[in-house]
Amino acid sequence: MVNLFLSGGGDKEQTEMIDKEFVKALDLDKPLLYIPIAMQGEIPYEDCYKWIHSVFNPLGITEIEMWTDLEAKSPEDLRTFSSIYIGGGNTFLLLNTLRETGFDEILKEYIDNKGIVYGGSAGAIIFGRDILTASHMDPNHTNLKTSEGFNYIDNYSVWCHYETSNDSLIKEYVNKYGFSVLALPEETGIVISEGKLRVIGSSPASVFRNGDKCC
């Protein structure tokens, strides 16, 4: 059973609704694991750590462990955590690092064994069919060989920070690559649990397929 919380991004006020839903699903006696590696070279990890505490301390999560080096990790290393939070930043850097360290397979095993994962922005996009939905905002300076994501959303790619001004870009993406898109504004997220997908937030999610905006 998949337990995924995916956010369109934004500040802590914008993501408050899905953040609260995420916290309700956790065992608060266990620490949260925070992975901010998509921010490498953009924001100091110390600032990332302060930020994650500012988001979740008021919601009842007080113990947070941050990993910035994923080398030599194992599935057993994840057993002490309530969940994993994968933060935003550069989507290409994030996916490339996960693959190069082998943590992508560890993460998939964790999810497939009912582990709870929250992905924000770049951390959400990697769970879609393809990550080129981030190419309009993220430069790719990596050796990433394929843009294929983890594909946990029924073959949909994820578009974060969605605004209606993005519609033409999204339609172009759908027509070029043939993948449907789930577009999430910054106030919006989705929860995938027990085989069902729910939208949470103050703005609707939008679906693009066959080159058209469906809803």
Q: Name which of 49, 56, 54, 75 is nearest 18 in CA terms.
A: 56
pLDDT of residue 2: 64
The model's pLDDT over 14-35, given as tens digits with 9 standing for 90+, comes to 999 999 999 999 999 999 999 9
How many residues can be counted in the chain?
215
The model's pLDDT over 132-179, given as tens digits with 9 standing for 90+, comes to 999 999 999 998 889 999 999 999 999 999 999 999 999 999 999 999
Number of domains the chain contains: 1
Given a cut of 90, is residue 210 above it in pLDDT?
no
Claim: this prediction has a pTM higher than 0.85: yes
User: What CATH number is associated with residue 69?
Assistant: 3.40.50.880
Query: What's the half-sphere exposure (Cβ side, CA atoms, 13 Å) at 142?
Result: 21
Q: Name which of 169, 80, 113 is nearest 105 in CA terms.
A: 113
Model confidence band, residue 213 (pLDDT cutoffs 50, 70, 90): confident
Q: Residue 84: enclosing H or E segment and its boundaries?
A: strand 83-86
- The domain of 168 spans 3-213
Determine how β-strand 180-183 pairs with β-strand 156-159: parallel
Q: Which phi and psi (to 5°) does residue 200 adopt?
A: -125, 130
Task: Report how far residue 119's alpha carbon sits from residue 142's, in angstroms, rounded to the nearest whole number.
Answer: 21
Take residue 45 and report the two structure tokens written for it: 């990890």
Mean pLDDT, the chain, integer: 95
CA 122 centroid distance within chain: 5
Give the bridge partners for 157, in sequence order.
Answer: 181
